[in-house]
Structure formats: structure tokens, C-alpha cells
Structure 1
Amino acid sequence: MSTRSFVLTLSCDDKPGIVAAVTTELASLGANIAESNQFWDRQTGRFFMRIAFTAGEDVSRETVERSLKPAVDRFDMRINILDGDYRPKIIIMVSRFDHAMLHLLYQIRVGWLNAEVVAIVSNHEGSRRTAEIEGIPFHHWPVTKANKAEQEEKLLALVKETGTDLVVLARYMQVLSDTLSKRLYGKVINIHHSFLPSFKGARPYHQAHERGIKLIGATAHYVTPDLDEGPIIEQETGRVTHAMGPEDLVATGRDIESRVLAAAVKMHLEGRVMLNGHKTVVFS
């Protein structure tokens, strides 16, 4: 018998009976739970849950939504349902350094990332050839103080036109405005070439070298109006030594950046990341 797969994520104030109410409704649909994760944040009193399940081919996303409505109303839940048959659409934004973008494109090509890149946007021409080879529309939008607002409006229009689910800043070295960050909150992931919150701003690897740091890393986070302070999704570090120069740190860092960004994008697209104020709940 053919089946369809779904991922349900929900959050609400913690109360007894949430899990029972949700799983009872899913059982009524003949659903089979493949994976279940839950977390109670005792500080905020919020409850978070992710359930991956399969159901008959006659069960649609709308069917699941209707079935869960009594539980949603009872517990005042915020829910999201991902359809396994849907391929999320992403826009990749990049500047001069394209290593993180190339890694994303490779992971999509080999099937590790389930996504469709609907556009590559850059303030430089360097990635046009890559876009042409991959058959992806390329948009060269140089950004200046005079045209920043106009270019961001073009980005918002592109997001709407393409039905984009996620914007990925793959070393896009332009700061998004507060207005854009708010309008796309929770839908933009950035890779910061530093193990935040240390070494913010420009040339973080050179800052690290000057301080004789022993571990370097990268941080993937959601973009907010607070520069490089958005909710963190994923981080990784690598060990370095006193014998390594700044360029050695840069090379090590680029490798880490690529992996961390791809991991963060994958977790987001699979519904494994839930916003919890200034933090995230990540179900691995």
C-alpha cells in the first residue's frame, strides 16, 4: 500500500495531555509514527514537539490539519505540517567567496539536501558561470547605499514570485536591513565565519590569529535586525595551532563553514528547528 510522509511540528504552553491528544488524532487517520521528539522549556513553560509519520495516500496535508484542529484549539497550539512530497524552494545569496554555495549545490545534486534552488543572487558577477552550469537563474544586483532599499524590494518580489521557502546567505557579505530581516524572520539563514559570539565583524580569522586562539569555528543562525545575534541553529569548531598562519585558518574555516551551513539548512528544511525566543530548539 502506498503511503505519504509528513512532519508535524508544534509549540504551545506546557499542559498535561498534549502528546495524547495529538497522537490520538494521528491514530484516527491510520498514521504510523516514524520519529517523535519533544522538549519542555521549564524557563518559559513552552512545549515543543516534532513528529514524523506516514499515512495512506488518500491523506493530504489538509486532512491532517483538519484532524488536528480540536487539539490545536484546546491547547492553543502553533503548528506546521510539512508534506514529504514537497520539495522546498531556496534562494542562495553569495558574494565573492563561493565555497559554501558550491557545497550546498553539491549536497542537493547528490540528494542529501531535498531542495530546489530557484535563484542565485549576488552583488558580484563571479557566480554567474556556476549558475549557468547548474541551470539556475542568476541575478546580479550590486548594492550601494543609494540602491540598497530598491535591491531588497527586488529580493522580496523574487521570494514571492518563486514561492521561496528559505533564503540562504552563503557568505553574502551585505548586511540586510532591519526591515527586510523582520519581514523574512525565520526564513533567512546566515553562515558567520566565526564561532559566535566571539570575533564579530570583519576579518574574524585574523582576529583569532592575533589572539592565539586554539579553536576556530563557524555559526549558522537565523537573521535578525541584531547583527550576527540571531538564534543559533548549528555550530562547529576545528583545532588549530600556533604554527598556522591566518590563511591556514581561513582554509580550515571555509571547510567548517560549508559543513555547518549545509547542516543548518537541512535541519531547517526537515522541520527540526523551532524558534524559542532568542534561542532555538533543534531536534537532531
Structure 2
Amino acid sequence: MASNTFILVLSCEDRPGIVAAISTELAGLGANIAESNQFWDRSTNSFFMRIAFEAPERVTREDVERALRPAAERFQMRTTLTEAGRRPKIVVMVSKFDHALLHLLYQIRVGWLNAAVVAIVSNHEDSRRTAELEAIPYHCWPVSKDNKGEQEERLLQLVQETGADLVVLARYMQVLSDRLSKRLYGKVINIHHSFLPSFKGAKPYHQAHERGVKLIGATAHYVTPDLDEGPIIEQETERVSHALTAEDFVATGRDIESRVLARAVKLHLESRVMLNGHKTVVFS
């Protein structure tokens, strides 16, 4: 029998009866729960939940929202309901290093990442050929101190016009303003070429090489006004040795960055990441 698949994520203050209330309403719609994850943060008494469920084809998104409304109001839930069959739209921003961009495009092409890149934005011309080959609109907007505000307004307009669900900074080497970071909070993911909170800012691999570390890594995080301090979504490390040069660190890091960013984007687009103050709850 044909069905519609939905994903519900919710958060609220923890108390008895939350799961039962949601499950009862879904059962009343004839829905079948395919996946359920939940987490109780005891330090803040906050409850987080993600449910993927299939409902009969006749059940619409509005039907689900109407059925869940009493429970949401009773427990003062913050809820987001998405249709799993919908293909999310993303805007990718890149500067000169394009390895993370190319990896995202590849994972979309082979079907591992369910997304549509509706625009590529850069402050350089280097990735225009890639965009043309993929038939993706390319916007080259050089950024200076004098036009930064104007270019960020163009980005906001682009996000609105394309209906983009997420902005991905795939080694975009410009710092977003506090204003833009606040406007798009929770909707911009950055890949930082370091295992945060170590080695923030510029040239982290060179910083790591100078310190003689034995592990280097990459961190995908949400962008906030505090540089490289946004809630962390995904991280990975790899062992290095004293025999490697700073350039070897950079080369090793490129592979890590590409993998980590792709995983973080996938987790976000599948509604598996929930903000919890300065941290995240990730249902993998």
C-alpha cells in the first residue's frame, strides 16, 4: 500500500508521557514508526526525539500537524516535521580549495547524499568550470572590506529566492559577519581544518605542525558570531608523525575535511542534528 514518509523532531522539558502521547497520535493516523531515537539531557532536563514514520497515502502533512498539536501544546514542544521524500536544497560556498565541494557533488551524484545544489557561491572564479559541468548556477562575488555587507545581502537574497534549506561553507575562506551568522543560525555549516577547539583561525595545520601534534583532524560545526566556536556536528582525526612536513599535514587534512563535511551535511539534511545550547544532539 502506498504511503508517505515523515520525519518528526521535537524537544521540550523532560517529563513522563511524552513518547506515549506522540506514539498514540501517530497510531491514530494509521502510521507505522520506522525509526525512533531519543535523548534526555539530565543536566538541563531537556528531552530530544527524532521519529521517522510511514503514514497511509491519504494522510497529509497538515493531517499530521493537526493530530500532534494537542500533545505539542501540552508538553510545550518545539517541533519540526519534514517529508522524507522531499529533496533538500543547498547553497555551497567555496574559495580556491575545491576538494570539499567536489566530494559533496560526487556523493550527491552517486545517491549517498540526498540534496540538490541550487547555487555555488565563491569569491574567486576557480570553481566556475565545475559549476558549468554540473549545470549549477555560479555566482562569483569578490569580497572586500568595503562591499562585505552588500555581498552578504546578496547571499541572503539568493537563499530566499532558491528556497535553500542549508548553506555549506566548503572551505569558504571568508568570515561571515555577526549579523549574517545570527540571521542564518542553525542553517550554515562550516568545515574547519582542525580538531576544534584546538588551533582556531588561520593556518591550523601549520599551527599543529609547529606544536608537534600526533593527531590532526577536521571539525564540521554550525556557524555562530564566535569564530570557530559554533556547535559541533562531526569530527574526525588521523595520526601523523614528526617526519611529515606542514604540507603533508595539509594534504592529509584535505581528505578528512571532505569526509567530515559530507557526513555533517547528510546528518543535518536527514534531521538527525538538534541544537542543545552550545552543543548538539546527533542521532546517527
Q: For this structure pair, what is the TM-score category when the shorter chain's length is used for normalisation?
A: over 0.9
CA–CA separation in structure 1 for the residues paired with 2:76 and 2:266: 28
CA–CA separation in structure 2 for the residues paired with 1:47 and 1:192: 29
Which residue type is aligned with residue 90 of structure 1? I
- Residue 3 of structure 1 and its aligned partner are, at CA, apart by 1.2
Aligned length: 284
Match of residue 103 from structure 1: 103
Match of residue 42 from structure 1: 42
Give the secondary-structure state (helix, strand or coil) at the position aligned to 1:111.
Answer: coil
Which residue type is aligned with residue 279 of structure 2? K
Match of residue 72 from structure 1: 72
What do residues 1-55 of structure 1 show as CA deviations (whole Å, max 9, x unaligned)? 1111111000000011000000000001111111100001111111000001111
Match of residue 214 from structure 2: 214
- Residue 117 of structure 1 and its aligned partner are, at CA, apart by 0.4
CA–CA separation in structure 2 for the residues paired with 1:271 and 1:95: 28
CA–CA separation in structure 2 for the residues paired with 1:108 and 1:200: 30
Which residue type is aligned with residue 73 of structure 2? D
- Residue 276 of structure 1 and its aligned partner are, at CA, apart by 0.4
Does 1:251 find its partner at 2:251?
yes
CA–CA separation in structure 1 for the residues paired with 2:61 and 2:213: 49
Residues 155-174 of structure 1: matches in 2 within 5 Å? 155-174=155-174
Does 1:33 find its partner at 2:33?
yes
Give the secondary-structure state (helix, strand or coil) at the position aligned to 2:156.
Answer: helix
Match of residue 137 from structure 1: 137
Match of residue 9 from structure 1: 9
Aligned-residue CA RMSD (Å)? 0.6
Identity rate, percent? 79
Which residue type is aligned with residue 40 of structure 2? W
CA–CA separation in structure 2 for the residues paired with 1:148 and 1:195: 28
Unaligned runs of 5+ residues in structure 2 are none
Structure 1 stretches of 4+ with a deviation exceeding 3 A read none
CA–CA separation in structure 1 for the residues paired with 2:237 and 2:59: 43
CA–CA separation in structure 2 for the residues paired with 1:111 and 1:54: 22
Match of residue 192 from structure 1: 192
Give the secondary-structure state (helix, strand or coil) at the position aligned to 2:108.
Answer: helix
Give the secondary-structure state (helix, strand or coil) at the position aligned to 2:43.
Answer: coil
Normalising to structure 1: TM-score of the pair? 0.99
- Residue 242 of structure 1 and its aligned partner are, at CA, apart by 1.1
Residues 115-130 of structure 1: matches in 2 within 5 Å? 115-130=115-130
Match of residue 147 from structure 1: 147
Normalising to structure 2: TM-score of the pair? 0.99
- Residue 247 of structure 1 and its aligned partner are, at CA, apart by 1.1
CA–CA separation in structure 2 for the residues paired with 1:203 and 1:73: 48
Which residue type is aligned with residue 242 of structure 1? H
- Residue 241 of structure 1 and its aligned partner are, at CA, apart by 1.0
- Residue 85 of structure 1 and its aligned partner are, at CA, apart by 1.8
- Higher deviation after alignment, 22-31 or 56-65: 56-65
Match of residue 231 from structure 1: 231
- Residue 236 of structure 1 and its aligned partner are, at CA, apart by 0.3
CA–CA separation in structure 1 for the residues paired with 2:229 and 2:268: 18
Match of residue 274 from structure 1: 274
What do residues 224-252 of structure 1 show as CA deviations (whole Å, max 9, x unaligned)? 00000000000000011111111111111
Give the secondary-structure state (helix, strand or coil) at the position aligned to 2:152.
Answer: helix
Give the secondary-structure state (helix, strand or coil) at the position aligned to 1:190.
Answer: strand
CA–CA separation in structure 2 for the residues paired with 1:161 and 1:57: 30
- Residue 177 of structure 1 and its aligned partner are, at CA, apart by 0.3
- Higher deviation after alignment, 240-249 or 115-124: 240-249
Match of residue 175 from structure 2: 175
- Residue 61 of structure 1 and its aligned partner are, at CA, apart by 1.5
Give the secondary-structure state (helix, strand or coil) at the position aligned to 1:237.
Answer: strand
CA–CA separation in structure 2 for the residues paired with 1:48 and 1:84: 19
- Residue 183 of structure 1 and its aligned partner are, at CA, apart by 0.3
- Residue 108 of structure 1 and its aligned partner are, at CA, apart by 0.5
CA–CA separation in structure 2 for the residues paired with 1:266 and 1:106: 13
CA–CA separation in structure 1 for the residues paired with 2:275 and 2:249: 32
- Residue 81 of structure 1 and its aligned partner are, at CA, apart by 0.8
Match of residue 88 from structure 1: 88
Match of residue 59 from structure 2: 59
- Residue 57 of structure 1 and its aligned partner are, at CA, apart by 1.1
Which residue type is aligned with residue 206 of structure 2? H
